[in-house]
Amino acid sequence: MRLLQNSLLSLCFTLAMPLAAAEGPWQGKRAAVALTYDDSLNVHLDTVIPALNELELKGTFYLTIAADGFSQRMAEWRAAAADGHELGNHTLFHPCNGQGPGREWVAAERDLSTWTLGRILGNIEVANTTLQALDGKTERTFAYPCGDTLAGGESYLEAIKPLFAGARGVAPGFPSPDNAERFNLAAHVINGQSIEQLKALVDNAIAQQGLLVFLFHGVGGEHPLNLEADTHAQLLDYLHAQQHQLWVAPMVDIASALAGE
């Protein structure tokens, strides 16, 4: 009997060991992953959300309210929220700094360098009201259009803190819970990567016990920054298979956890 107890005990320890090895700083997992999709694209509703739902993964969709992909398909965005995806705020009009090389495409009336702090805040607040009308939620995150944080030369980062659980930036990195900038969270812009490159990002996040935020635009088309739909599906499969050591969650859950809520 004693022998049997001892073997049962050692069996329990053996079974417990892989669990202990997987413990980490992100809800007990080694790394956190957020899947974020910008600019209210039709492919997000047509391709991305069905793919996420099939694997029960939850994403964050940074919605520009004035875009046709939002205004023409509001019932579908409401359904996406009901499925557990986050409707993130990406302003009404997607204003960006129109000054400097590479920004010739920014329309004069959407040139953030000519806006005031009050104007961008009003834009963001009305976007929040619109999103709340769809999902009923008062807690969400924000993504700076083009990653620009200056309106008329003045930072609006501090001013949005009361409005959001956190905000996504555009500089890459794998922050830990201790050094994550909750209102300018690191993110990796995705454009044409191979599945091997995407898996390497995930493996890096696990090795560094960090947060990995994917920043997608087009998936299988609809935007100059694009990832092939097959590659996107392979990435989701990889994340799904790694869930024993990954916390895959919407940005609002990750930002709330960083805030200690």
What residue ranges bind Zn ion (CB under 5 A)?
A: 38-39, 145
The separation between the first and the last C-alpha atoms of the chain, rounded to the nearest angstrom, is 48
- Closest residue to Zn ion: CB criterion: 38
- Residue 204 near residue 174 (C-beta atoms within 8 A): yes
Q: Give 185 or 233: the residue with its C-beta nearer to Zn ion.
A: 185
Q: Tokens representing 208?
A: 């560094």
Q: Give 147 or 173: the residue with its C-beta nearer to Zn ion.
A: 147
Query: Any alpha helices (H) in 22-143, and if so which ranges?
Result: 42-43, 49-54, 68-71, 74-82, 117-135
- Residue 189 near residue 214 (C-beta atoms within 8 A): no
Q: How far is 184 from 205, CA to CA, in rounded Å?
A: 18
Q: Give 31 or 151: the residue with its C-beta nearer to Zn ion.
A: 151
For residue 144, the minimal CB distance to Zn ion (Å) is 9
Q: How far is 2 from 251, CA to CA, in rounded Å?
A: 51
For residue 62, the minimal CB distance to Zn ion (Å) is 7
Q: Give 60 or 245: the residue with its C-beta nearer to Zn ion.
A: 60
Q: Give 147 or 177: the residue with its C-beta nearer to Zn ion.
A: 147
- Residue 141 near residue 165 (C-beta atoms within 8 A): yes
For residue 145, the minimal CB distance to Zn ion (Å) is 5
Residue 226 pairs with which residues in a beta bridge? 218
For residue 171, the minimal CB distance to Zn ion (Å) is 15
